[in-house]
């Protein structure tokens, strides 16, 4: 392998003193990032096309929508060159990776011709501090499992495990983020935290927020209060090998009990 073609760490170390530089001037330095190749995507089912509003959106549709939003944005920040990879950031709890969240990540990945998609996952402590551990919006799964689930999503290029609850210029510069993603309607959603919205509003002011469409057709989410992820992670179900399981948990025979097997799923 020709090592001269590999970017060194120094190629990315272009911000020597973030405190002395603005976000607009810093993100303009990343024109050397190598573009990503095309992503293979399995076609959606006919049922999904008819049920979920964003399933049939093509890359052209998504990029046109984002381009229109940026052209009319009040801030109109530095536009990214068409021949380089754009660093896009989206954050959240990502507790349950349902179709809505997956389609949001898809739109984020396809928002430009070439995207390096960074996904920030809120830590357990930050969520419980802001929302409380017994509320309906608290995560069901601990932080380590939520990060691991995101790692297996093909749209994702990088995970930010220590995602801040409120975004600011310093974080954008430190992570070399060009744009952050915000789903349409979030600003009027009563469930969306107001402190988080303040961070997005500041980034909107300088044209660093791109919208993604909300998916219509999803089933209503569950509202039952989940157990705290902190207590759950300490009392997780222990692993058992097949030899340790009762016989009726390994197969559903006639007249046999299937309750133990169902409980493992």
| CATH label of the domain that carries residue 55 | 3.40.50.620
Mean local confidence (pLDDT), 40-68: 96
Rounded Cα distance, 59 and 112, in Å: 8
244 and 222, same structural domain? no
Tens of pLDDT along 21-52?
A: 555 544 444 444 444 556 789 999 999 999 99
Domain count, the chain: 2
More reliable by pLDDT, 68 or 3: 68
| Res 191 pLDDT > 80 | no
Q: Which domain holds residue 251?
A: 240-265
Judge if 250 and 218 occupy the same domain.
no
pLDDT, residue 143, reads: 96
DSSP 261: H
Q: Are 196 and 263 members of one domain?
A: no
- 219: helix, coil or strand? coil
Domain assignment of residue 221, yes or no: yes
**Residue 103 vs residues 25, 48, 58, 97, 237: alpha-carbon distances, Å:** 32, 12, 12, 10, 31
What is the rounded average pLDDT of the residues 180-185?
A: 92
- 168 and 248 inside one domain: no
* Mean pLDDT, rounded, for 92-99: 93
Cα 77 to chain centroid, rounded: 23
Task: Say yes or no: 252 and 198 in one domain.
Answer: no
pLDDT at 101: 96
Does one domain contain both 51 and 154?
yes
Cα 249 to Cα 132, 236, 239, distances in angstroms: 36, 19, 14
Look at residue 96 and tell me if it is in a domain: yes
State the burial class of residue 130 (Cβ atoms within 10 Å of its Cβ: 0-12, 13-18, 19+). middle
Query: Are 94 and 189 found together in one domain?
Result: yes
Inside any domain, residue 8? no
**Within this chain, do residues 102 and 224 fall inside the same structural domain, yes or no?**
yes
Residue 69 has pLDDT above 70, yes or no: yes
Average pLDDT, the chain: 77
Is residue 58 domain-shared with residue 171, that is, in the same domain? yes
Please indicate, yes or no, whether residues 203 and 261 belong to a single structural domain of this protein.
no
Classify residue 9: in a domain, yes or no.
Answer: no
Tokens of 152: 């297996």
State the greatest distance between any 2 C-alpha atoms of the chain, in Å, as a whole number. Answer: 73
Q: Is residue 55 part of a domain?
A: yes
Given a cut of 50, whether residue 213 has pLDDT beyond it is yes
Condensed to tens digits (0 to 9), the pLDDT of residues 117-176 reads 999 999 998 888 887 765 556 788 999 999 999 999 999 999 999 999 999 999 999 999
How far apart are the C-alpha atoms of 135 and 58, rounded to whole Å?
37
| Choice among 86-90, 111-115, 146-150, 195-199 with the minimum mean pLDDT | 195-199
Q: Are residues 148 and 253 in the same domain?
A: no
Residues 100 and 214 in one domain: yes
13 part of a folded domain: no
Asked if residue 206 is part of any domain, the answer here is yes
Domain assignment present for residue 2? The answer is no
Closest to 229 (Cα-Cα) out of 150, 146, 148, 120:
146
């Amino acid at each position: 392998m020709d090592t001269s073609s590999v970017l060194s760490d120094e190629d990315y170390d272009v911000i020597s003193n973030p405190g002395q530089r603005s976000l607009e001037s810093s993100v303009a330095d990343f024109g050397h990032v190598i573009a990503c190749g095309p992503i293979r995507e399995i076609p959606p089912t006919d049922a999904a096309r008819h049920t979920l509003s964003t399933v049939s959106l093509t890359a052209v549709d998504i990029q046109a929508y984002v381009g229109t939003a940026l052209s009319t944005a009040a801030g109109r920040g530095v536009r990214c060159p068409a021949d380089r990879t754009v660093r896009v950031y989206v954050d959240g709890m990502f507790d349950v990776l349902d179709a809505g969240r997956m389609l949001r990540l898809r739109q984020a990945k396809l928002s430009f011709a070439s995207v390096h998609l960074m996904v920030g996952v809120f830590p357990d402590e930050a969520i419980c501090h802001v929302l409380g551990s017994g509320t309906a919006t608290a995560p069901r799964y601990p932080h380590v499992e939520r990060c691991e689930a995101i790692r297996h999503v093909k749209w994702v290029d990088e995970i930010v495990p220590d995602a801040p609850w409120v975004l600011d210029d310093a974080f954008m510069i430190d992570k070399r983020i060009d744009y952050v993603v915000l789903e349409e309607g979030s600003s009027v959603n009563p469930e969306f935290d107001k402190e988080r919205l303040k961070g997005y509003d500041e980034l909107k002011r300088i044209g660093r927020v791109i919208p993604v469409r909300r998916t219509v057709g999803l089933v209503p989410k569950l509202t039952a209060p989940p157990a705290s992820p902190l207590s759950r992670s300490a009392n997780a179900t222990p692993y058992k090998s097949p030899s340790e399981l009762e016989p009726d948990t390994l197969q559903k025979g006639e007249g046999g009990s299937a309750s133990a097997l169902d409980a493992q799923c």
